[in-house]
């Protein structure tokens, strides 16, 4: 990526600045403390680096800016008087983001010096140090090239085989605590809006750049990667909320997904707080400095930095009714001659090659929640988890990750769920009504363990690889959990397909065409600059997080493909694909070409890679197959049953409009009981009616007890109340907007568009109550509607 002025953060596209082709981070060691009062996370991060594939060339400087507006520049302390921070020393609050005597790296002739570019935003960096790993005695025992001991030691360390990962992590930790190199030129750094650039004077190639670098920094309370807020009990907490900028406001990192790395973290938090992270180990707190406890997490599977997750709060753990421990035998390797999988990924301790892990249907799991939701989480989430995990294992095989925590996050969370390695965030919205919404959402997030995490998209614009697959598998897993017969399962899936088709149709009519394309970079998908930098199209558009086109259109593409070869064969192929590609990054064509090769008969049906691209991935249009198929879904028994009930309600509304007739009409109507998905469809059909009487709406509410249904049903009920100005249900609308923020964004627009003073006042009142705790993208979208 060529040097350019600071990119405007208000633009849609997100720059990935890191020059990963020149230098790769192989491992991060984080040493951080959480300061609740100041709302900052402060400490250090150590990067262990390795020259990349493009490092032999004269390197460009990535995203480095030649302008110095709003920049921060620094060197480390006086080289003649080195100051090595003691372990656990934190950045002094009064220390400025630049140091007196520091050299502005933009003011020199820097054209021939190599620059390490890291993705970074909203951080206060105080200094950057080159570590002297030669002082680590255990590391010096490694066999290295004597011509370059320093680089050789780090290279040997990052290249240790996965069988030695415990020793490797211990050496990483010792190195992270080593002193900075004395009597050398200082490391210089510069910050712009989106990146941190680091240089060492006189160093012109990645091969000569320091291999172990420590960065001292702290986050900002307003940083875009973590949310400081209050939980449902009114207590302070902080968590990574799935920001479009990922973790670059939590720590300097390499954002491009190809920068796969491992990490270990020591996090200190006040004693009454629990630290949950995306580490593979179950951490237990140990005493730290006065008033703090220390939590240590790690991962051994290299993954993009965007998958790093943390949540710190006064969460409580739901009680487990049955023993939920990992079998010691899981550490045993796969028996020779018993190999179902051949790993093609980089070397790490892979569960796919551990014999007992292959038959472990339920991995150890825990559920956390604020105290006010603990009982609901225990009653709803905890019993469903082993069922959903078992269903997933029966379809896809080995669980890629060894454990799972589930956390009920604060009400301002902007979606129903978010999956990271070893941890899932769930919205409180899944805790109401029957178990369908909660169970289906758990299945969706668990599916991400395979698609989205163990197998990731090499180009972030191809979100459908993650979300489309998880949406498709959600239905498969959930029908397994419900133990439905083939006919029942198919009926349920057709009903859900119809609901999704209606949602997709609505979204395609009410969104920008550019946001509707699943492969916006088309034939350039996956391409990066010479340095490895790139841009993620539309990533910063505030409306994008609330769009579902990648979920829905991706789901329908998979449903289309399954219809061509049969679902059973399709799911068997999924398992084979996972076996081949786990631990790797893919593009659409990797999956599609392997599928076409496995089922050559598809080509005789006119299905080829090019036609899938043109019909499904590279166009905003609704595919012809989908338009034809929806008419079939309308004829299914479950949908016909709903249509029959809709006719009753319309007749009731028309015949019960006046006086005693209305009173007589009520008791004569016999309404059938409907499941939650049928209820959603019923309410959507009724939303198409121009007029529904107040008595109809009252009976509708009482018949189905709508205010006690799940959030999907309540959402449609609120839309009905708004459309027909049913003032008796305005309290339901208010409660929905406050407590179901993950789903209520566009309901604000419906309240405003009616131009009804009472409805507009309701919208403004709800916004004023929750705006400080809202997701920033949600707040931006809602404020544009209202203000």
Tell me if residue 60 falls in helix, strand or coil: coil
Hey, how many other C-beta atoms are within 10 angstroms of the C-beta on 383?
Answer: 12
Q: For residues 733 and 191, what is the distance between their CA atoms, to the nearest angstrom?
A: 45
Hey, how many other C-beta atoms are within 10 angstroms of the C-beta on 606?
Answer: 7
- Judging by DSSP bridges, how do beta strands 14-16 and 417-420 pair with one another? unpaired
CA distances from 495 to 232, 436, 672, 679, 680 (A): 34, 14, 17, 11, 10
Residue 31: beta bridge partners?
Answer: 44, 266
**End-to-end CA separation in angstroms for the chain:** 38
Hey, how many other C-beta atoms are within 10 angstroms of the C-beta on 324?
Answer: 15
CB 11 within 8 A of CB 537: no
CB 212 within 8 A of CB 40: no
Q: Whose structure tokens read 């997709």?
A: 504
**Cα atoms in the Cβ-side hemisphere of radius 13 Å centred on 56:** 1
CB 587 within 8 A of CB 459: yes
CB 37 within 8 A of CB 225: no
Q: For residues 275 and 284, what is the distance between their CA atoms, to the nearest angstrom?
A: 9
Number of alpha helices (DSSP H) and beta strands (DSSP E) in the chain: 24, 24
**Phi-psi domain of 727 (left: phi exceeds 0; alpha: psi -120 through 50; beta: other):** alpha
The catalytic residue positions are 445
Q: What is the CA radius of gyration of the chain?
A: 28
Q: Residue 672: name the closest of 649, 706, 698 by CA.
A: 649
As given in the structure block, the two tokens for residue 699 are 């009976």
As given in the structure block, the two tokens for residue 690 are 């121009």
* 354 Cβ contact list (under 8 Å, min separation 6): 330, 331, 332, 333, 334
As given in the structure block, the two tokens for residue 561 are 């493909």
């Amino acid at each position: 990526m060529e040097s350019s002025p600071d990119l405007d953060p208000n633009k849609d596209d997100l720059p990935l600045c890191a020059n990963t082709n020149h230098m790769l981070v192989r491992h991060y060691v984080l040493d951080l403390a959480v300061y609740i009062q100041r709302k900052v996370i402060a400490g250090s991060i150590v990067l262990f680096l390795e020259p990349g594939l493009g490092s032999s060339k004269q390197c460009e400087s990535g995203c480095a800016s030649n302008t110095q507006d709003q920049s921060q520049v620094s060197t480390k302390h006086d080289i003649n008087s080195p100051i090595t921070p003691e372990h656990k020393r934190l950045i002094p609050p009064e220390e400025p983001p630049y140091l007196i005597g520091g050299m502005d790296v933009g003011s020199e002739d820097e054209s021939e010096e190599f620059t390490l570019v890291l993705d970074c935003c909203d951080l206060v960096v105080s200094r950057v140090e080159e570590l002297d790993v030669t002082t680590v005695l255990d590391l010096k025992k490694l066999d290295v090239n004597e011509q370059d001991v320093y680089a050789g030691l780090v290279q040997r360390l990052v290249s240790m085989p996965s069988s030695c990962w415990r020793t490797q992590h211990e050496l990483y930790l010792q190195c992270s605590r080593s002193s900075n190199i004395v009597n050398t030129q200082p490391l210089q750094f510069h910050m712009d809006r989106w990146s941190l650039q680091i240089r060492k004077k006189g160093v012109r190639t990645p091969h000569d750049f320091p291999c172990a670098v420590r960065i001292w920094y702290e986050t900002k309370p307003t940083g875009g990667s973590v949310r400081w807020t209050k939980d449902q009990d009114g207590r302070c907490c902080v968590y990574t909320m799935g920001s479009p900028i990922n973790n670059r406001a939590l720590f300097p990192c390499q954002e491009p997904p190809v920068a796969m790395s491992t990490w270990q973290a020591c996090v200190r938090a006040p004693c009454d707080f629990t630290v949950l992270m995306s580490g593979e180990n179950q951490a237990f707190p140990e005493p730290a400095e006065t008033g703090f406890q220390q939590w240590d997490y790690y991962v051994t599977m290299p993954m993009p930095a965007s998958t790093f997750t943390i949540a710190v709060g006064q969460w409580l753990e739901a009680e487990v009714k049955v023993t939920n421990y990992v079998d010691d035998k899981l550490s045993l390797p796969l028996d020779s001659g018993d190999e179902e999988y051949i790993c093609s990924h980089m070397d790490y301790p892979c569960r796919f090659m551990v014999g007992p892990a292959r038959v472990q249907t339920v991995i150890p799991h825990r559920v956390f929640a604020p105290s006010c939701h603990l009982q609901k989480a225990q009653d709803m989430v905890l019993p469903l988890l082993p069922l959903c995990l078992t269903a997933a294992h029966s379809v896809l095989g080995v669980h890629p990750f060894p454990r799972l925590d589930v956390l009920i996050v604060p009400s301002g969370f902007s979606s129903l769920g978010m999956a990271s390695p070893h941890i899932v965030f769930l919205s409180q919205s899944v805790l109401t009504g029957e178990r369908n919404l909660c169970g289906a959402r758990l299945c969706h997030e668990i599916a991400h363990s395979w698609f989205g995490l163990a197998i990731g998209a090499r180009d972030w614009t191809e979100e459908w690889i993650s979300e489309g697959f998880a949406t498709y598998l959600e239905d498969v897993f959930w029908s397994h959990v419900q133990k439905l017969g083939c006919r029942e399962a198919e009926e349920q899936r057709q009903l859900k397909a119809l609901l999704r088709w209606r949602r997709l149709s609505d979204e395609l009519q009410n969104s920008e065409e550019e946001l509707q394309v699943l492969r916006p970079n088309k034939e350039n998908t996956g391409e990066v600059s010479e340095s490895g930098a790139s841009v993620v199209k539309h990533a910063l558009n505030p409306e994008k997080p609330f769009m579902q086109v990648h979920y829905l259109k991706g789901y329908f593409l998979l449903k289309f493909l399954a219809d061509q070869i049969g679902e059973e064969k399709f799911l068997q192929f999924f398992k084979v694909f996972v076996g081949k590609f786990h631990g790797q990054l893919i593009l659409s064509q990797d999956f599609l070409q392997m599928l076409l090769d496995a089922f050559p008969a598809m080509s005789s049906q006119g299905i080829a890679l090019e036609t899938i691209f043109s019909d499904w991935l590279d166009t905003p249009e609704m595919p012809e197959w989908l338009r034809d198929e929806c008419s079939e879904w309308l004829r299914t028994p479950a949908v016909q049953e709903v249509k029959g009930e809709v006719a009753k309600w319309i007749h009731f509304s028309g015949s019960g409009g006046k006086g005693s007739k209305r009173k007589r009409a009520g008791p004569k109507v016999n309404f059938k009981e409907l499941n939650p998905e049928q209820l959603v469809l019923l309410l959507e059909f009724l939303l198409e009616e121009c007029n529904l009487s107040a008595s109809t709406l009252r009976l509708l509410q009482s018949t189905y007890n709508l205010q006690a249904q799940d959030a999907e049903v309540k959402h449609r009920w609120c839309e009905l109340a708004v459309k027909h100005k049913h003032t008796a249900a305005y309290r339901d609308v208010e409660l929905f907007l406050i407590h179901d923020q993950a789903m209520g964004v566009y309901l604000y627009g419906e309240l405003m568009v009616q131009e009804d003073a009472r409805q507009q006042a309701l919208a403004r009142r709800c916004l004023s109550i929750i705006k400080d705790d809202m997701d920033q993208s949600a707040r931006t979208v809602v404020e544009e509607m209202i203000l």
